[in-house]
Amino acid sequence: MTDAYQALTASLASADPEIERMIEAEGRRESEKIRLIASENYVSEAVMQATGSILTNKYSEGYARKRYYEGQQVIDEVEETAIARAKELFGVEHANVQPYSGSPANLAVYLAFLKPGDTVMGMELPMGGHLTHGSKVSATGKWFNPVHYGVRRDTGRIDLDEVAEIARKERPKLIICGGTAIPRTVDFEGFAKIAAEVDALLMADIAHIAGLVAGGAHPSPVGHAPVITTTTHKTLRGPRGAMIMTDADHAKAIDKAVFPGLQGGPHNHTTAAIAVALREAAHESFKTYAQQIVKNSQALAAALADRGYDLVSGGSDNHLNLVDLTPKDIGGKPAAKALDKAGIELNFNTVPFDTRKPFDPSGLRIGTAAVTTRGMTEGDMELIAGWMDRAISAAKADKESEYEVIAGEIREFCKSYPIPGWHA
């Protein structure tokens, strides 16, 4: 194990050996499995250390230089550093680094610019959107009037003509672009033109692709969307947190919505870890990393297609692939469960126009950010596709003994790709 891991857990082992055992087990699990969940990654040791730092002791309600508690000299510097790095990395005029996660960040946008009952337009959840884009089970769908766009049945891609038609009819006050299961490039400029035509505010949710944007592997929404939300993990490879970035005109309303509108004191240890991740993302090596994520995603898509798997939209432009298992005559949930037993971790997912229920859908969602962090490249994606196909075939044939065979091969394979902050 690394010195960093031992330092983080030395006191824990004596204070609470039960929890320490669980952390040890999770580290081994993350190390020995191929993790393809699109919303996950591995943070660096530096990010991990900041997250577990003494900054967790301090409560800091308010904003830098305008706090409601004393003793903020260092915390103000930490938050201002994170803000400055976000502004420089993404080229924005304002950044709020206090949101606890992506959902509260999105809710802050609603609070800042809408009133209950206002019309909001986002991508429909089964088509690739997010719960906070107006889903009926979310507060955003209960408190506001949601209207949705989707993708074309024949291409699996967003049709901006359809988006424009819906927008002209419904006249939303807010249009959201981006989502949680979109394997293709988001046309921020096209959305901006539609928003301008109907006098709507455009919000870009780049939670999944923020690292790709930062690394130049995906077009940026800056200059097109006045309001941008993102989580700080996923492709950005930071801690579990969020940011809202805006132009100067929308900054004040966002800050008021986050605090005091939705939150109390920010999580200062997370803010520090965000700052560290942003510094890492500004390095030239991160651009190479972002480009490799896309190369791996496209290589994995090609390898799966060669094995007869149906990829929604035909492939990927980013870190994410969405696989429709209908032609394979197996549901996404049993396939995901089988893959997990075989050492490959991903999630079952609804696909566009899915005829199955959301908790037992037809698809799998696959992401390549975490395996790229470990150093895997295109040739490894061919191996991964082969293991996936074997596990899914075993599930269909009810040959559970094959899972452990595959898992053993994967454990051996993963020894060549240690994870940051922990390894045996």
- Say if CB 60 and CB 75 are below 8 A apart: yes
Looking at the fold, whether 267 and 301 belong to one and the same domain comes out as no
pLDDT at 4: 58
Gap between the Cα atoms of 412 and 410, Å rounded: 5
> Within a domain: residue 361?
yes
pLDDT at 286: 98
pLDDT at 13: 86
Name the domain count of the chain: 2
> Within a domain: residue 200?
yes
Looking at the fold, whether 270 and 306 belong to one and the same domain comes out as no
Residue 47 CA to its chain's centroid (Å): 17
- Say if CB 1 and CB 418 are below 8 A apart: no
**Residue-wise pLDDT tens digits, 249-289:** 999 999 999 999 999 999 999 999 999 999 999 999 999 99
Gap between the Cα atoms of 299 and 292, Å rounded: 10
What are the beta bridge partners of residue 144? none
Residue 102 CA to its chain's centroid (Å): 9
Looking at the fold, whether 87 and 207 belong to one and the same domain comes out as yes
Binding residues for (6S)-5,6,7,8-tetrahydrofolate: 125, 129-131
> Within a domain: residue 122?
yes
Q: What is the CATH number of the domain that holds 142?
A: 3.40.640.10
Looking at the fold, whether 268 and 315 belong to one and the same domain comes out as no
At which of 236, 258, 281 does a domain end?
281
> Within a domain: residue 241?
yes
What are the beta bridge partners of residue 175? 121, 202
What string of H, E and C letters represents the secondary structure of the chain? CCHHHHHHHHHHHHHCHHHHHHHHHHHHHHHHCEECCCCCCCCCHHHHHHHCCHHHHCCCCEECCEECCCCCHHHHHHHHHHHHHHHHHHCCCEEECCCCCHHHHHHHHHHHHCCCCCEEEEECHHHCCCHHHCCCCCHHHHCCEEEEECCCCCCCCCCHHHHHHHHHHHCCCEEEECCCCCCCCCCHHHHHHHHHHCCCEEEEECCCCHHHHHCCCCCCCCCCCCEEEEECCHHHCCCCCEEEEECHHHHHHHHHHHHHHHCCCCCHHHHHHHHHHHHHHCCHHHHHHHHHHHHHHHHHHHHHHHCCCEEHHHCCCCCEEEEECHHHCCCHHHHHHHHHHCCEECEEECCCCCCCCCCCCCEEEEECHHHHHCCCCHHHHHHHHHHHHHHHHHHHHCCCHHHHHHHHHHHHHHCCCCECCECC
Q: What is the pLDDT along the chain (424 residues), one digit of tens a residue?
A: 556 556 666 788 889 999 999 999 999 999 999 999 999 999 999 999 999 999 999 999 999 999 999 999 999 999 999 999 999 999 999 999 999 999 999 999 999 999 999 999 999 999 999 999 999 999 999 999 999 999 999 999 999 999 999 999 999 999 999 999 999 999 999 999 999 999 999 999 999 999 999 999 999 999 999 999 999 999 999 999 999 999 999 999 999 999 999 999 999 999 999 999 999 999 999 999 999 999 999 999 999 999 999 999 999 999 999 999 999 999 999 999 999 999 999 999 999 999 999 999 999 999 999 999 999 999 999 999 999 999 999 999 999 999 999 999 999 999 999 999 886 5
pLDDT at 2: 59
> Within a domain: residue 243?
yes
Looking at the fold, whether 106 and 135 belong to one and the same domain comes out as yes
Looking at the fold, whether 293 and 226 belong to one and the same domain comes out as no
Looking at the fold, whether 238 and 320 belong to one and the same domain comes out as no
pLDDT at 364: 98
**Residue-wise pLDDT tens digits, 99-128:** 999 999 999 999 999 999 999 999 999 999
> Within a domain: residue 159?
yes
Residues designated as active site: 59, 61, 205, 231, 234, 240
Looking at the fold, whether 185 and 249 belong to one and the same domain comes out as yes
Gap between the Cα atoms of 12 and 368, Å rounded: 32
What are the beta bridge partners of residue 177? 204
**Torsion region of 35: left, alpha or beta (phi above 0 gives left; psi -120 to 50 gives alpha):** beta
353 lies in which domain range? 289-414
Q: What is the CATH number of the domain that holds 389?
A: 3.90.1150.10
Q: What is the pTM of this model?
A: 0.96
Looking at the fold, whether 203 and 303 belong to one and the same domain comes out as no
Looking at the fold, whether 326 and 304 belong to one and the same domain comes out as yes
